[in-house]
Structure 1
Amino acid sequence: MTKGRIERRLAVIMATDIVGSSRLMEADEGRTLEAIKRLHACIFCPIIDAHGGRIAKLMEDGALVAFNSAIDAVECAISLQKELAHDQKELPSDERIVLRIGINLADVVIEGDDLLGDGVNVAARLEASAEPGGICIADVVHRQLGGKCRTAFFDGGEILLKNIAKPAHVWRWKKAPVAAPSASFVPARTSIAVLPFENLCSSPDQSFFSDGITEDIIGGLARFRSLSVIAANSSFRFRGKNTPLREIGRKLGVTYLVEGSIRRSGERIRITAQLIEGASGTHLWSEHYDRDVTDIFAVQDDVRMIVSTLIGHIESADLRQVMRKPTTSLAAYEFYLRGLVHMRGYGADDNRQAREMFLAAVERDPQFALARAHLALATIALNGYANAPSPILDEALALARQAVALDEGESGCQRLLALIHVNRREFELAERHYRRAHQLNPNDTNTLVQMGGLLARRGKLQEAMEWIDEGYRLNPFPPWYSAALGNALYILGRYEDAAAALKELPNPGPFTCARLVACYAQAGNTNATETAKAQLLQICPDFSTEDFIRRGLLLERPEQLELFRQGLLKAGLPA
């Protein structure tokens, strides 16, 4: 049975939202609620009434409003932004209430006092793409405007709206306080909230344990400085409330949500975790972990694995989302993410494109430390890594040091500075920065595996394998990890295992092929040796063992260099 009359009609929908409402609530919930209540009474509702709008849904941090006229809706939006800016101008910038507004014209379903339909979703997406203090309107709305209103907007081109398949042609208010995304607007970091894990234990007083697990996961995610992590006192507000996940994601203003449960039965405990896309409520990943409750260290390991796995899935989802967006709408963070895509690629032009993307990110935000650190990496990658000319290696070192100076607490910057030192054969400095990176973020599996690779080069083989094994345990699938593993296994004399690891690498170059030849020769596998040797000489006809030892190996100990030399000469390759 329906709650009220249902009708369908053409309407102009205005969606509004308070920018950073979660941050304002967390800073001072009482003050923020009082300020919003006053603004509703003194500015919001009177201006909407004066322009003939009907509030279909009014929330603490936003509203849906229906108009019969596009001109009325747009004039209302402009008045709201001007009056609000005037009202808030005396407040400190971190206490101001700022709106984003999106306006669409579409056929909607009116159910009671509510507005439903795809047109409403598009209005909400337009609002999300507006600048703080700005207005973003659909092209169909702009066409309905008179001359005065129409000239108040500039053409924002076509953009992709989240979870909307067809690109939307948008127009943006010229007097918005910041520039449009196509120019210099930098999107916020990827944001995530961890909801309190549900206590499924038979005893309700065990909720302290599920809360502890939740806060451990929040703390682990917060170590990744590329993430904005909502504090527990905000996400825990939704405990016990039957609030839809999409609504929670909107209220907290996050890209992703994590939810889960803790079930304890006797001496066994099961932790279940799920990653959810905030805007759509779509489940992206789910896993459960079973442990003996008496083994608290194993439970802590599972928490670390949950954190690392979440990061991997978030990163992949972010990259997929960015690659769907048109290049003209990318800002610094999106250029950075595109750079990561190319940095992990194996195409002939990927290193050049990665450097261009990171350079574009740094140009748009010179304070973006991670982008600058990756620009250092791309610079040496484009020029042969350790074989790059000295000026290139010096340039990369300067960039990496600048990145660390910009954000000393970012583990990724420390890790990439360490990697630059490795390629400069400055192994002691590299180890120092890897250890600093690990102190800052023990969940970063790239640091674990790269540190293992360095320790193997330095002859610390047992410790090297412990670092690499831990990296694989937390993140078992990245293909490039096989390079560090294969190198360490070869030095350990486990030639067949080393070959198996190296064969996991996609698109192997001459140096990887040479390592495979050495592995098979040392293992005594004649057929595999000849096959690998033929492949190597096909891509590198002028191969020489001495050149490989000099240019292809970053090893600190002479006996390790000799071990590779023996393998290559045993295969019959030229000295």
Structure 2
Amino acid sequence: MERRIAAILAADMVGFSRLVELDEAGTLERQKQHRLELIDPTFRLHGGTIIKLTGDGFLAEFSSVVEAIQAALHVQKEMASREVDTPEDRRIQYRVAVHLGDVIFDEGDFYGDGVNVAARLESLAEPGGVVISGPVYDMLKAQVNVGYRSLGERRLKNIEKPVRVFELTDTTQKVAFLTRSFGSSLRVGALVLIAVGIVGWSWTRPDFSPVDPKEMALTLPQNPSIAVMPFELRGNPGENDWVADGITESIIATLSLAPELVVIGRSTMFSFKGRQVSAAEVAQELGVRYVLSGSVTVAGDQLRVAAELADALAGNVLWARREDNSTRDLMAVQDEISEHVFEEMSVALTEGEGARSWIKAAGGFQNYVQVVKGRSEFQKFTPEGHANAARIWGKLHQEFPENAFNVYLIGFLHWQKVIIGISEDPASDWAEAGRLARKALEIEEFGEGYTLLAYFQLGNKNYDEAIKYADMAIEISPGSADANSIGGLIKAVSGQTKEGLGYMEAGMRLEPDYPDWLPAPVNFARIQLGEYDRARELALQVLASKVEDVRARPRALGALIAINVIEGDMDAARARADELKSDYPEYTVAHFDTFYRLHKYRDFVEKYLTALENAGVPKE
């Protein structure tokens, strides 16, 4: 075993499973050519040596940190030009992160905190972009001719301390040393690991062939779907031979509490007991993406439970976990393990890292489950969804009236009544939302609480105050999807379009199953900034998806109409306008204006609305 400081680069191909599904042969062939013609030669030029392939990633060793970053930037720049003639939805792109940290080399494997941090950082990079950690920035900020944008301190999964993160900007220009004389002082025998991901507390390696959704026996649900295999009993079970079944049943029952998860039922899963089948085979037979499997070992009064979550479409293991407990209170052990799995599912598949802080803020696991259930209803933005959320959250508030998070949720209910037009006294409800936001923050300061206060100020067109509170939300909770998404929306509406868009996109990355309302303001900002292709891609994804928010699809159609008009494709614009009028006749230009009435820059809003009218959307 060897341990040393190394420069670690983590990269992930964006949407690999989707690309393979669209065009497996073409994607893999282009990936191979990129490696032979671009990646390998670039690494050699910068003193790097390819160590190992890991699915859609690579392992390489470089002679210095600077050379590693230069290689990464060159690859990202050339990848964009090499893929320019490929249809946008089939382009190969990578997210890349670089960190300087501790790495352990043991019998051909590589792991340690340095690898874990780098792998977590990667998800914060834009497609085609590069992010670096604070230690790398401190060493290189004057050595590589690129710009840097601080993303603040971020809390990364399973990393105890927050990590400073910087995004490299202007990466398409020629990269060169500003001061070559410092190069030798930066040499650390750098090992650059271009990895694919991380398995909870260890490094993830693809270990089975991805499943083709077209070959599944049942249609793959759009929501995250999971099958929990009966846990295998090992050791000398004695009188505890029921423990494995009990833990399996408990996990299935607990996961079924999550409104965003599709969970295969107990009877179906116990039919697999004793069968020797792989995660891929289970996924293919049941039509699910994720498979949770594990084992239970009983030795005297000690109990060891091991579990791992496999992604059948990606062909790898997302995370693995092992816990040791006493058998003296098996029911408590079952609950503890089930709740932990639920938390990890929320983090990996739906809510993102924010789930951990939500559990604490809500006052425990059972309360968190009610928060999630209410949120699912709230995000439908319908009178029925509002009523259901009010019932669920109202009960929580009655039981725990001094819990800051519960007060905050009730405040958002008053806000939503105004937004969806069901308030009998909008002025009173708006004022109550602001009062409850302040009350929640008086009880306990937390980032999400400032988002409601920012909304309150935005509604009053106090743009500077709205931005101030949005910044406070993001500063206090930089790893919160809601703080980034809502804070970014408020900043964009208040005049900071580019910065706000960046935070909204960060929110999308932080929450795997991001809310249905988010693509609309993201696309409005993208169109405002001239990013038409990216806005079009996201709008088409919304139209192809199952969405609960009743506003999501018509707003996606509105974005496509505006893009087509701006680009001069009036035939396509009129066709989309006809689709809007047929499917959503209540959506007039005046209706769209209500979405954007608070925007500081009315000139662009008028341009957007005029585009809808020119395409044939009724004015009123």
TM-score range, shorter chain: 0.3 to 0.5
Higher relative contact order (Cα pairs below 8 Å, separated by 6+ residues): 2
TM-score by length of 2: 0.42
Larger Rg: 1
TM-score by length of 1: 0.45
